[in-house]
Amino acid sequence: MASSITVPRRYSARSPLVGYLLRRLGTSILLLIGVTVVTFALTNLVPGNPVAAALGEGAASNPATVAAYVEKYGLDQPLPLQYLTYVGNLFQGDMGTSLHTRQPVADDLLKAVPATVEVALGAIIVSLAVGTALGSLAAYRRGKITDQVVRVVSLIGLSIPTFWLALTSFYIFFLQLRIAPGSGRLSPIYTPPPTVTGLYTVDALLAGQWDIFFDAMAHLMLPVFVLSLFTIGLLTRFVRTSVLEVLDADYVRAGRAKGLSGSRVLFGYVLRGASLPILTIVGLAFGSLLSGTVLVEAVFAWPGLGTYAYESATSLDLPGIMGVGLVVGVIYLGINFIVDMLYGVLDPRVRLA
Amino acid sequence: MRNNTRVAVLALGLVATVTLAGCSAGASSSGDAPSSLVIDTAFTLETGDPGRNYVPTGYMVSKAVYETLLDFAGSDESTPVPGLATFEQNADATVFTFTLDADRVFSDGSPITADDVVFSLERVKGMVESKANFLMSGIEVAKIDDLTVELTTETPSLKLPALMTNPSLAILNSEVVIANGGTTDDTDAAEEFLNSESAGSGPYVIDSLDFASQVVLTENSEYNGDEEIDFGRVVIRSVSESATQKLNLEGGDSNVAVDLSGDQVADLSDDVTVTSGPSAQTIFLLLNQNPEISEFTSNPDFVDAVRYALDYDGLLELAGAGSEQATGVIPPSFLGALTDGVEQDLDASATALAASGYDGETITLEYPNDYPVGGVSFTPLAERIQSQLDAAGITLELAPAPFTTQIDEYVNGREAFSIWFWGPDYADSANFLPFAAGDKVGLRAGWTAEMSPETVALSAAAANATSVDEREAAFAAFAQGLQDSGPFVPLIVPGSNIATASSITGVSYNSTWTMDIAELRAK
C-alpha cells in the first residue's frame, strides 16, 4: 500500500502529494465502477424474480400492478441499459430507489451507515485499547503465565461465534443482571436527537441532551462489547508479534540504556516501531466491522448497514444491494487511503517525497 | 506526573460515563402498567400510505391511524360490523349502499363525507402500481349524497363487506391528501406526505415513522369513535430477531412481542401472557399436475399415496403453540372450513402408490428455506416429510432455496413437488378460491380448468352465492372437492402467538392487521 514517488521537483507542475492524491482518486473511481459491475452482474445472475419478491404473491398476480412496477423501476430494459442508466444516475448523485423500502437508497444509507459507524467506531476504539494493552503485556511477559493466559483469551475471542455471544450477553447483562438496556439505539421513551452526524451520542451532545447521550451510550455498550471481542483477539495476537519483533531492536535497547521510563520506551519506541502492521490490521478490522455486523445488528435490533444489506439481498433489491456495495467499497478505499497516509506519519521511510 | 493525572482524569471520566449510562439502562418491570406501549415486531413496513400498503406491520399501523367503512369485532372475522358506516345490500349481492355516521371527524376536526369515501376508494383503484390495487378490482364507487356511497359489482360479491374492512381501503381526508399530491390515478404523489403525517380518523396519529427502526403513534385528540384508548403513546419497534423480542418482553423493555414461535412461547416467564390461536395461513404440499413437469406428481394415485402416507400429528409437533392441522385449503376460522382433516392411512397409501406405477424413483421436494411462516421453518418440516414418505416407499431429495429464488418457479408453475403457504388478503373465504383448477394457485400446480371442471363449478358456486347459508355450503363443498381430488395436500395452519406483559390485556388476533392496537388495555 505504501509507495514512493521520486519525481524531480523542477519537472513537476504541482506538488507530488497532489499528483499522488489525484492518481489515488482516479484509481478509486475505477475500482468503484468495478464494484458496480461485479455487484450488478452477480445480483442479476442469482435466479429469482425481483418483481415477484418485491410485490408478494397477491400483487404479483395482478398484471396491471406488475406492469406499472416494472415500468417504474425500468426492469423491462435490457440489462446493459439498466446498468448504464444506473451509473449515469449515480454520477448525478442518484443511487436509485430501493425496491424493498421504496425509499431513495441514498436516504436509506444516510440512516443506516451512521448507526453502524457509531457501533463500529466504539468497537475499534475498545479493541485498539484492550488489544494493544494485552498484546504488549503478552510480549513483555513472553513465555510466562501471563503470556499464556493472554494468548488463550485472544484465541477465545477469535473463536466465539458472534451470534451466540450477542444473544448470551444480551440475556446475561440485560435480562439477568439488569445492567444493560434492551435492544435498539435508544430507549423507547426517547426521541432521537436532531440529526447532524447521525451518531446519536454525538448528536445528543451537540443538542445538549445529556439524558439521551447517556441512554445512547448505554445502548452501545453490549453491541460494542460483542463486536470488539473478535477484534481484540485479532489485535492482541498481532500486537504481541509486532512488539516481540522490535523489543530487541537496537533503538529500543538504546532507549532503555538512556534510562527512559518503561512507559516512555513502550509508547515512544516499541509501539511506534510496531505500529505499521498494527495499523494495517486496524484498518482492515474497521472495514470489516462496518460491513460485517449483520448478526450483531439482528440481535440488538440495530438499524445499520448490515441489516440493510441483508434485507436488500433477501429481497433481490438491486438498487439497495448496489448502494451497499458502493458504500462498502468507499469505506474500504477510504480506510486504505487513511492507512497509507498514516504510514507516512508513523514512519518517515515511507513518507512521500 | 502530569501524564498520570491526565490518565486518571480520563479513567474517571470513562467510569462516570459508563456508570451513568448503566444507570439509564434500568429496565422497568414487565408487571407494572406502562404509561406508553412498546410493541416489538419484525418490520414489514414499506409505506405510511394506507392505499399503497400490503404488508402486516403497515396494516397494524394503518389500523390504528385510519378507519374503514366496516370493521371486525375483536377476533371474530366471520361477520363485518359497522365501522365508519353501516351498509345494506341488494338481493343479488351486487349493490352495496354504505351510510356514514354523521358525527365522525378526521384528525384535523373536519367531517368525514361521501366525497372522502369516493376519493379514497377511487385512489386505490387508480394507483395501478399499488400492491393493494387489486382489492378494488371490479368495484364501482358512486356518491349518492353527502353521507351515502354506493358500491356496485357486475357479479354477486358477498366478499365485498369483508373487503371493506381491509386497512388498505381506509378512508382518508381527501382535502388534505389532494393538497399534498393525492389523485385518483397513477399520478398520485401523496405517499411522501403520508409517510410523515396522517390524514385519517383513527384513534392515533403518526408522530414519527422510520421504516428501519420504529413508528411512534400519539393520541388523536379529535378522535370521536367508539374506542377508548389506554395508551397516549405507542412505539412499534423493528426487532427482526424473535429471540430478542422474547428477551425484551421478559426484561420489561417492551410490552408486546408479536413474532414469537410456538417453541419460544412455551418457556416464557410467568409474568407474560400469551394469546395463541391458529393463524389464517395454510402450509401445504403442491404436486404439479402437468405431466411435462413430472410424470409422477401428475398422477392422481401418486397424490393420494402422498396424502395418506403423512402423519399429520407428527408434522404438527414442529409447529408449536396455537397451530392446528390444516383440514383443507380453507383455514379453521373461515366460512366453509372443513371440520376434520385427512388422517394417515398407510394401507390406502400403499394401494395408491402401487396403482400409480411409481417404482422408487427419486422425487425432488422444493421449498423456501429462509421464510418461516408463523414460526414454522420449512427445512425441518421438509426433513420430516422426507422421512415419513420414505417409510411409505417414496424417495425424496430435498432442494431448499431462498424465497426470492423459489417464488418465481412456484408462481410460474415450474415446481413439481414443493412446500408453500397461502394466506388471505382479507377476511373472507373467497381468498381461497384461487386454489381451484384453472385459477391462480391451481395453475401453479399445473392444474388447468379442463382437468377438473367439477372444482371449477364448485368455485363458481361459492363465488356467486348470494346468501350466507348458501355460501357456507358452497365453500365447504369446494374445500371438500379439493381435499378429495386436488393437487394440494394441506398440512399445517401455524399458530399466531402474541405475547404481552401481564399488565396488558385486550389482544385479539386478526388475520390481516394482526391486532388492533387501540383495543389493548392497561391493567
Q: What is the pLDDT of residues B61-105, one digit of tens each?
A: 999 999 999 999 988 888 899 999 999 999 999 999 999 999 999
Find residues 407-466 of chain B whose CB sits inside 8 Å of chain A: 407-408, 411, 422, 425, 440
Q: What are the pLDDT digits (tens) for A202-212?
A: 999 999 999 99
CATH architecture of the domain covering B19-276+497-522: 3-Layer(aba) Sandwich (3.40)
A137 Cβ partners below 8 Å, 6+ apart? A146, A150
Burial class (CB in 10 A: 0-12, 13-18, 19+), B17: middle
Task: Pick the range with the lowest mean pLDDT from A114-123, A283-292, B47-56, B184-193.
Answer: A283-292
Task: Pick the range with the lowest mean pLDDT from B14-23, B76-85, B350-359.
Answer: B14-23
Query: How far is Cα A217 from Cα A214, in angstroms, rounded to an integer?
Result: 5
At A351 the pLDDT is 61
At B1 the pLDDT is 41
Asked if residue B231 lies in contact with residue B501, where contact means CB atoms within 8 angstroms, the answer is: no
Read off the pLDDT band of B20 (50, 70, 90).
Answer: very low
Long-range contacts of B22-25 (CB under 8 A, 24+ apart): B22/A179, B22/A180, B22/A218, B22/A221, B23/A214, B24/A181, B24/A187, B24/A211, B24/A214, B24/A215, B24/A217, B24/A218, B25/A178, B25/A179, B25/A180, B25/A181, B25/A215, B25/A218, B25/A219, B25/A221
CB-CB under 8 Å, A175 with B251: yes
Read off the pLDDT band of B34 (50, 70, 90).
Answer: low
Query: How far is Cα B428 from Cα B468, in angstroms, rounded to an integer?
Result: 12
Strand partners, B217: B206, B234
When pLDDT is averaged across residues B473-481 and rounded to a whole number, the result is 96
CB-CB under 8 Å, B210 with A175: no
Between B390 and A14, the more confident residue is B390
On the question of pLDDT at B16 being above 70, the answer is no
State the pairing for strand pair B324-325/B488-493.
Answer: antiparallel
Strand partners, B496: B277
B57 lies within 8 A of chain A by CB: no
The 3-state DSSP class for residue A23 equals: helix
Handedness of CA A161, A163, A167, A172 (dihedral sign): positive
Q: Which grid coordinates are listed for B257?
A: 412481542
Of A133, A134, A124, give the one whose Cα is nearest residue A224. Answer: A124
How many CB atoms neighbour CB A135 within 10 A? 28
At A168 the pLDDT is 95
Read off the pLDDT band of B204 (50, 70, 90).
Answer: very high
On the question of pLDDT at A124 being above 70, the answer is yes
Of B91, B57, B189, give the one whose Cα is nearest residue B517. Answer: B57
Closest alpha carbon within chain B to A44: B405
- Mean pLDDT of chain B, nearest integer: 91
On the question of pLDDT at B7 being above 50, the answer is no
Read off the pLDDT band of A350 (50, 70, 90).
Answer: low
Read off the pLDDT band of B175 (50, 70, 90).
Answer: very high
When pLDDT is averaged across residues A177-192 and rounded to a whole number, the result is 94
At B345 the pLDDT is 97
Query: How far is Cα B215 from Cα A91, in angstroms, rounded to an integer?
Result: 33
- Our CA-based measurement puts residue B148 at a distance from the nearest CA of chain A, in whole angstroms, of 30
A157 Cβ partners below 8 Å, 6+ apart? A229, A230, A232, A233, A234, A236
Asked if residue B189 lies in contact with residue B181, where contact means CB atoms within 8 angstroms, the answer is: yes
At A120 the pLDDT is 93
Across the interface, of B25, B254, B404, the residue whose CB is closest to A315 is B404
Q: What are the pLDDT digits (tens) for B102-151?
A: 999 999 999 999 999 999 999 999 998 888 998 999 999 999 999 999 99
Asked if residue A61 lies in contact with residue B440, where contact means CB atoms within 8 angstroms, the answer is: yes
Read off the pLDDT band of B478 (50, 70, 90).
Answer: very high
Query: How far is Cα A235 from Cα A227, in angstroms, rounded to an integer?
Result: 13
At A248 the pLDDT is 81
State the pairing for strand pair B233-238/B214-219.
Answer: antiparallel
CB-CB under 8 Å, A58 with B425: yes
Tell me the one-letter amino acid at A229.
Answer: L
At B31 the pLDDT is 45
At A2 the pLDDT is 44
When pLDDT is averaged across residues A186-210 and rounded to a whole number, the result is 95
- Mean pLDDT of chain A, nearest integer: 86
When pLDDT is averaged across residues A161-190 and rounded to a whole number, the result is 94
On the question of pLDDT at A117 being above 70, the answer is yes
At B277 the pLDDT is 86
Query: How far is Cα B260 from Cα B279, in angstroms, rounded to an integer?
Result: 13
Asked if residue A312 lies in contact with residue A120, where contact means CB atoms within 8 angstroms, the answer is: no
Phi-psi region of A168 (alpha: psi -120 to 50; beta: other; left: phi over 0): alpha
Looking at the predicted complex, does its ipTM rise above 0.95? no
Across the interface, of B130, B370, B411, the residue whose CB is closest to A314 is B370
Q: What are the pLDDT digits (tens) for A25-36?
A: 888 888 888 888
At A46 the pLDDT is 75
B405 lies within 8 A of chain A by CB: yes
Q: Which grid coordinates are listed for B331?
A: 383455514
Between A321 and B121, the more confident residue is B121
At B381 the pLDDT is 96
When pLDDT is averaged across residues A96-121 and rounded to a whole number, the result is 91
Query: How far is Cα B232 from Cα B207, in angstroms, rounded to an integer?
Result: 11
On the question of pLDDT at B23 being above 80, the answer is no
- Our CA-based measurement puts residue B29 at a distance from the nearest CA of chain A, in whole angstroms, of 11
- Chain mean position to CA B141: 26
Work out the percent of chain A whose per-residue pLDDT is above 70: 93
Asked if residue B317 lies in contact with residue B375, where contact means CB atoms within 8 angstroms, the answer is: no
B29 lies within 8 A of chain A by CB: no
Rounded to two decimals, what is the model's pTM?
0.86
Read off the pLDDT band of A173 (50, 70, 90).
Answer: very high
B13 lies within 8 A of chain A by CB: no
When pLDDT is averaged across residues A184-194 and rounded to a whole number, the result is 94
At B57 the pLDDT is 94
Which residues does chain B have within 8 Å of residue A211's beta carbon, measured at their own beta carbons?
24
Domain boundaries, chain B: 19-276+497-522, 282-493
Closest alpha carbon within chain B to A315: B404
B347 lies within 8 A of chain A by CB: no
Work out the percent of chain B whose per-residue pLDDT is above 90: 77
Query: How far is Cα B70 from Cα B82, in angstroms, rounded to an integer?
Result: 5
Domains defined for chain A, CATH in brackets? 22-89 (no CATH), 105-352 (1.10.3720.10)
Q: Which grid coordinates are listed for B392?
A: 411409505
Of B62, B59, B48, B54, give the one whose Cα is nearest residue B133. Answer: B54
Read off the pLDDT band of B396 (50, 70, 90).
Answer: very high
B132 lies within 8 A of chain A by CB: yes
Query: Residue A214 to residues A74, A200, B116, B133: CA-CA distances in angstroms?
Result: 46, 10, 46, 46
* DSSP symbol at B33: P
Between A277 and B410, the more confident residue is B410
CATH superfamily of B282-493: Dipeptide-binding Protein; Domain 3 (3.10.105.10)
How many CB atoms neighbour CB B103 within 10 A? 9
How many CB atoms neighbour CB A246 within 10 A? 17
Which residues does chain B have within 8 Å of residue A111's beta carbon, measured at their own beta carbons?
210, 212
- Our CA-based measurement puts residue A343 at a distance from the nearest CA of chain B, in whole angstroms, of 26
CB-CB under 8 Å, B411 with A52: yes
Which residues does chain B have within 8 Å of residue A303's beta carbon, measured at their own beta carbons?
210, 212-213, 238
On the question of pLDDT at B21 being above 70, the answer is no
Alpha helices in B251-358 (DSSP H): 262-266, 300-309, 312-316, 346-356
At B395 the pLDDT is 96
At B81 the pLDDT is 96
On the question of pLDDT at B252 being above 60, the answer is yes
At A292 the pLDDT is 64
Across the interface, of B20, B54, B253, the residue whose CB is closest to A56 is B54
Of B256, B214, B249, give the one whose Cα is nearest residue B27. Answer: B249
CB-CB under 8 Å, A49 with B17: no
At A13 the pLDDT is 55
Q: Which grid coordinates are listed for A296?
A: 450483531
CB-CB under 8 Å, B133 with A65: yes
Q: Which grid coordinates are listed for B370?
A: 429462509
Query: Residue B75 to residues B281, B455, B508, B509: CA-CA distances in angstroms?
Result: 15, 30, 5, 5
Read off the pLDDT band of B28 (50, 70, 90).
Answer: very low
Tell me the one-letter amino acid at B98.
Answer: F
